[in-house]
Amino acid sequence: MQVDTELFSEEQSENLYEKKTFVVDRGQEPFRIDKWVHMHMEGSTRNKIQQGIDAGFLTVNGKPVKSNYKIRPGDEIVVMSLINPDHTILKEENIPLNIVYEDAALMVINKPANMVVHPGVGNFSGTLLNGVAYYLRQQNPAIDEENLPRFGLVHRIDKNTTGLIVVAKTGESAAHLAKQFFSHTVKRKYVALVWGNVEEDEGTINAHIARHRYFRKMFDAYPDGETGKHAITHYKVLERFNYVTLVECILETGRTHQIRVHMKHIGHTLFNDWEYGGDKILKGTIYSKYKQFVDNCFDICNRCALHAQTLGFIHPVTGQEIFFESPVPEDMQQVIEKWRNYSQHRNLEE
C-alpha cells in the first residue's frame, strides 16, 4: 500500500488540513471503505470517517463514495482531514464571546483584538476556543472532552485581526465547512487601512506566499511562482486620506498573513502592522505635529488595522447560503475618522 501525505494552508493559518492518499494493494479482498480507512489512519474513529465520507471529504479514484463502498485493488483513496490544534488539553474558561449566530451545527463569533484563536505554544489559555469550550459545557454539562470543539476549528484569523470566524459544533459540520474553505468557495471580505495612496481604484495581487528567508516568523511574497503557495487577493479602494488608504480585500485563497504580505508587496503595508514595518511613518513628511498625529493614531489602534468584515458560506445542514457582517470596530473607526478629518483639513489648506 502506498501512502502520500500533503499539507495545505488556509484562512490565516498554516497546516490546517492534511490530505492523505492511499493506493490499495493488489490482492486486497473487497472491504468496506469506512472500516478500511479506520484501520489505516492512526487516531481516526469510524464515526468521524463516516461523517467525512458523507460530507464528500473522501474520494475513490476522484469520485465521492458511500460508507458501504467496497474497495478494490488499485483504488486511489484520498482523504482530507483537519489537523487538530497543537495541544492535548482544552481548558474551559469563562471568556465573554460575541456570538453573532448560533444553531445546533455551528457558531459565528465576532473575535476581538488581542485574542488568539486556539491554544498553542505560549498561549495555553485565554483563547477563543477556551471560551467556546466553557460555553458549550454550560449548554450541555454531560458533553465529554472528545466532543469539545477542537475539531470545530475550520479557519483562523490572526491574534490582532478582528472580525468574523465560524466554529463547527459537530464533526459533520466541521467536514462540510472545511471542504468549503479548502475549495475556496467561502466568501470573505476584509477592511484594512494601509500606508500610502493606492493609485489604482481596484486590482488583483497574484504572488505566492512562503516563510521569509531570514525572519522565520514572518512571510514574504514570491511573484515568480517558484517558491511558496499560490495566493490571490483582490482589493478595492474605499477612501483615500492622502498618506493612508482605506481598502477592501477579498480573498480568493487564504494563506498565512496573506493580506498583510500582499499589501506590503505592492508598497502599501498595513497601518501599525509592527511585524511588517507598519508601525513607523512610511508616508508623509516627518515633522513634530504630523508625527504626534500618527503616534496618537497608533495609540488608539495599537494593532494591525485589519478587520474580517464579511463571512459567507453554505450552511452544512440546510444547504442555504448565509452571510454575516461585522461593523468596523471602535479602535479602527476612530483612526479612520481622524485620518478623514486630517485629510480634509490638509486639502483645505492647499
Query: Does the annotation mark 201 as catalytic?
Result: no
Name the active-site residue from 158, 273, 279, 331. 158
End-to-end CA distance of the chain: 74
Region of 43 please: left (phi>0), alpha (psi -120 to 50) or beta: left
DSSP letter at 223?
T
Q: Residue 230, SS3?
A: coil
Report yes or no: 319 and 103 within 8 Å, Cβ to Cβ. no
Residue 230, all three cell numbers: 499560490
The CA-atom distances, in angstroms, between 106 and each of 26, 118, 160, 309 are: 42, 17, 23, 18
Residue 54, all three cell numbers: 458523507
Q: Residue 274, SS3?
A: helix
CA pair distance 246, 232, nearest whole angstrom: 19
- E-state strands within the chain: 2-10, 13-23, 58-60, 63-64, 76-82, 99-102, 106-111, 162-168, 187-195, 202-206, 208-211, 219-222, 232-240, 244-251, 306-314, 321-325
Estimate to the nearest angstrom the gap between the alpha carbon of 297 and the chain centroid: 27
Dihedral angle, C-alpha 86, 88, 91, 96, nearest 10 °:
30
Count of Cβ atoms closer than 10 Å to residue 272 Cβ: 25
Q: Which residues are catalytic?
A: 158
